[in-house]
């Protein structure tokens, strides 16, 4: 099937590129139109033309459109979930969880249209009424990665639209279909033309066009640190408002007093589910010396039980890497890790043979006795590769965990409440979990990292308004 771009309420065709199933590269999931710089400019102009009417529509009326989008996605739930597994490779239960989350995100922000809180405070002066209201920014560019192909477009589009902005969506080339389905739902919901625009195609070409597009006021980007830094520099030249959510090298700290089995399960879940391709995945597990050997053995034993394969099949725990480039990256880091830390305790190879030959399948891999200066303890891999590190005690573990430039998520496994609070106040990461996997967030609270992982206001929950709207303050004498 051919999936066209969407500009000013029209489906626009052109030269196409293929979206293939990473579990079976013989299967074309869809053909997408390769957008051009001219398309981006046309989309930004359409969004600008649509802005006055959309931004002055009552908030609850914008909310009604978003409720309709959620209902349409709900009706197509099974189709969209299966398509996500076919285009991204994650297992069908994971895909269903993500589509459910996207629907919930649209409903959550639809409701916010009836609230949209500002400030009303008493003046020091007689008969002066003073308040601040939220105003939308204008045209916002939304650039999204391949690993959460529905939830991330949803958690950018829904708050942007409810605040009254109009948007140009640029999905990842490896998995554009899930975002396309949201845009299709916006079209079917009757959202006025020009409010939502969608352009697939090369990030390099479209990214440059987006930051140069005259009407653009802001960009929200999720993806790699390299692209984010480039985008930041370009956007700064035009003083565009920018929000960047980028990479992580997330630690799980396991203390000797933890619920041992739960800590093993949480670590395996966070390191390997979704093929380690979550920005919040655990890639370093820092284990207190007293339980290190026992924990390492248990981790290896639990990992042996994981089933790798096509995520459409029941019983599969881990799907493929997204593409050849990510598989090559995983294998390159496994080579580096083998040189630095010795052979992995488990895994380390591309999977071949029946069921594997047509996909980018790789074994979940564990390196033991990894130390702080090693590359595999410092750089994001974004695959199912876990570094196990030894710490003398809690203080040592916290120091190791903080000793990198990235700070997205972090987890602590312990039953000691004092250490929980030490961790909450001293761990340098934007998202913390305790006795849960480091990955697995909800949409009702702020989401985002700290240090080099993020820049700008947080996403999701009430914090989303800090990026997608501005205050206008009014002093009124009566």
Looking at residues 332 to 371 of the shown chain, list those that interact with ligand NAP (rule: CB under 6 A): none
Pick the binder of ligand NAP from 64, 202, 229, 402 (CB under 6 A): 202
DSSP 8-state code for residue 290: G
By the rule CB under 6 A, 245 interacts with ligand NAP: yes
By the rule CB under 6 A, 43 interacts with ligand NAP: no
Instruction: DSSP for 327-371, please give it.
Output: HHHHHHHHHHHHHHH-S-SB--SB--STTTTTS--B--EEE-S--
Pick the binder of ligand NAP from 207, 348, 437, 461 (CB under 6 A): 207
Q: Write the CB contacts of 118 (distance below 8 Å, at least 6 apart in sequence).
A: 131, 132, 133, 134, 471
**Which of the ranges 71-79, 112-120, 146-154, 299-307 carries the binding residues for ligand NAP, by CB under 6 A?**
146-154
Pick the binder of ligand NAP from 52, 204, 342, 405 (CB under 6 A): 204
- H-state helical runs in 177-323: 177-188, 203-212, 225-237, 260-272, 292-304
Residues in a beta bridge with 469: 136
- H-state helical runs in 119-259: 151-162, 177-188, 203-212, 225-237
By the rule CB under 6 A, 329 interacts with ligand NAP: no
Rounded Cα distance, 267 and 263, in Å: 6
Look at the block and give the residue holding tokens 């800090």: 466
Cβ atoms of 140 and 220 within 8 Å: the answer is: yes
Annotated catalytic, 163?
Answer: no
Least separation, in Å, of the C-beta of 449 and ligand NAP? 6
By the rule CB under 6 A, 222 interacts with ligand NAP: yes
- Residue number, nearest CB to ligand NAP: 207
Cβ atoms of 375 and 340 within 8 Å: the answer is: yes
By the rule CB under 6 A, 416 interacts with ligand NAP: no
Least separation, in Å, of the C-beta of 81 and ligand NAP? 19
By the rule CB under 6 A, 86 interacts with ligand NAP: no
Determine which one of 88, 184, 245, 288 is catalytic.
245
Rounded Cα distance, 62 and 414, in Å: 45
Q: Write the CB contacts of 163 (distance below 8 Å, at least 6 apart in sequence).
A: 116, 134, 136, 137, 465, 468, 469
**Which of the ranges 5-13, 28-36, 124-132, 241-249 carries the binding residues for ligand NAP, by CB under 6 A?**
241-249
By the rule CB under 6 A, 227 interacts with ligand NAP: yes
Least separation, in Å, of the C-beta of 279 and ligand NAP? 3
Least separation, in Å, of the C-beta of 382 and ligand NAP? 5
Rounded Cα distance, 8 and 315, in Å: 43
By the rule CB under 6 A, 167 interacts with ligand NAP: no
By the rule CB under 6 A, 5 interacts with ligand NAP: no
Strand order from edge to edge, sheet including 16-21: 2-3, 24-33, 16-21
Determine which one of 88, 279, 288, 363 is catalytic.
279
Q: Count residues contacting ligand NAP (CB under 6 A)?
A: 29
Binding mask 418-457 for ligand NAP (x = CB under 6 A): -------------------------------x--------
Rounded Cα distance, 370 and 405, in Å: 18
Look at the block and give the residue holding tokens 């090369």: 202
By the rule CB under 6 A, 170 interacts with ligand NAP: yes
Least separation, in Å, of the C-beta of 152 and ligand NAP? 6
Binding mask 385-404 for ligand NAP (x = CB under 6 A): --------------------
Least separation, in Å, of the C-beta of 471 and ligand NAP? 25
Q: Which tokens is 50 given?
A: 């649509």
CB-CB neighbours of 30 under 10 Å: 19
CB-CB neighbours of 14 under 10 Å: 14
Strand (E) or helix (H) holding 82: helix 77-88
Q: Give me the numbers of helices (H) and strands (E) for the chain, helices first please.
A: 14, 22
Looking at residues 264 to 283 of the shown chain, list those that interact with ligand NAP (rule: CB under 6 A): 279
Q: Which is nearer to ligand NAP, 170 or 419 (CB)?
A: 170
Least separation, in Å, of the C-beta of 227 and ligand NAP? 3
Annotated catalytic, 279?
Answer: yes
Nearest CA-CA partner of 145 in 22, 20, 245, 33: 245
> Nearest 5 degrees, angle CA 294-CA 333-CA 229?
115
Pick the binder of ligand NAP from 89, 149, 194, 223 (CB under 6 A): 223
Strand (E) or helix (H) holding 92: helix 92-112
By the rule CB under 6 A, 382 interacts with ligand NAP: yes
Q: Which is nearer to ligand NAP, 368 or 408 (CB)?
A: 408
Nearest CA-CA partner of 270 in 441, 84, 91: 441
Pick the binder of ligand NAP from 30, 159, 164, 247 (CB under 6 A): 247
By the rule CB under 6 A, 147 interacts with ligand NAP: yes
Pick the binder of ligand NAP from 149, 248, 344, 384 (CB under 6 A): 248
Binding site for ligand NAP (CB under 6 A): 143-148, 170, 172-174, 202-204, 207, 222-224, 227, 230-231, 245-248, 279, 380, 382, 408, 449
Catalytic positions are 245, 279
């Amino acid at each position: 099937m051919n999936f066209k771009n969407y500009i000013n309420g029209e489906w626009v065709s052109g030269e196409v590129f293929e979206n293939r199933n990473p579990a079976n590269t013989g299967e074309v999931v869809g053909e997408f139109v390769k957008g051009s710089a001219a398309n981006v400019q046309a989309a930004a102009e359409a969004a600008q033309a649509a802005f006055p009417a959309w931004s002055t529509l009552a908030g609850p009326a914008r909310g009604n459109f978003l409720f309709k989008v959620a209902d349409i996605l709900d009706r197509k739930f099974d189709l969209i979930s299966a398509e996500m597994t076919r285009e991204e490779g994650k297992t069908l239960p994971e895909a269903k969880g993500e589509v459910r989350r996207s629907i919930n995100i649209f409903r959550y922000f639809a409701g916010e249209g009836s609230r949209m809180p500002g400030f009303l405070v008493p003046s020091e002066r007689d008969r002066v009424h003073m308040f601040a209201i939220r105003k939308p920014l204008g045209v916002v560019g939304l650039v999204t990665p391949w690993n959460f192909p529905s939830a991330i477009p949803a958690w950018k589009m829904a708050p942007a639209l409810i605040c009254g902005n109009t948007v140009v969506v640029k999905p990842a080339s490896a998995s554009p279909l899930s975002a396309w389905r949201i845009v299709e739902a916006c079209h079917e919901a009757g959202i006025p033309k020009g409010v939502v625009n969608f352009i697939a195609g090369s990030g390099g070409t479209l990214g440059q066009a987006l930051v140069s597009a005259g009407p653009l006021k802001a960009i929200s980007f999720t993806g790699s640190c390299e692209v984010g830094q480039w985008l930041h520099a370009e956007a700064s030249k035009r003083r565009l408002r920018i929000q960047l959510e980028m990479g992580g090298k997330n630690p799980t700290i396991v203390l000797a007093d933890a619920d041992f089995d739960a800590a093993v399960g949480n670590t395996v879940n966070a390191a390997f589910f979704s093929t380690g391709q979550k920005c919040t995945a655990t890639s370093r597990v820092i284990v207190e010396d007293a339980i290190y050997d026992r924990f390492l053995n248990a981790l290896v034993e639990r990992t042996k039980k994981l089933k790798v394969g096509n995520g459409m099949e029941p019983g599969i725990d881990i799907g493929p890497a997204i593409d050849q480039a990510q598989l090559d990256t995983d294998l390159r880091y496994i080579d580096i890790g083998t040189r630095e830390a010795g052979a992995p305790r488990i895994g380390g190879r591309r999977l071949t043979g029946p069921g594997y030959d047509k996909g980018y399948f790789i074994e979940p891999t564990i390196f033991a006795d990894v130390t702080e200066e090693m590359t595999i303890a410092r750089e994001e891999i974004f695959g199912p590769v876990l570094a196990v590190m030894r710490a003398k005690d809690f203080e040592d573990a916290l120091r190791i965990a903080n000793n990198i430039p990235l700070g997205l998520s972090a987890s602590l496994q312990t039953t000691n409440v004092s250490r929980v609070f030490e961790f909450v106040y001293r761990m340098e990461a934007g998202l913390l979990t305790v006795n849960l996997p480091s990955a697995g967030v909800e949409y009702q609270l702020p989401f985002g990292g700290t240090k080099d992982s993020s820049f700008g206001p947080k996403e999701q929950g009430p914090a989303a308004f800090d990026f997608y709207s501005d205050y206008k303050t009014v002093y009124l004498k009566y």
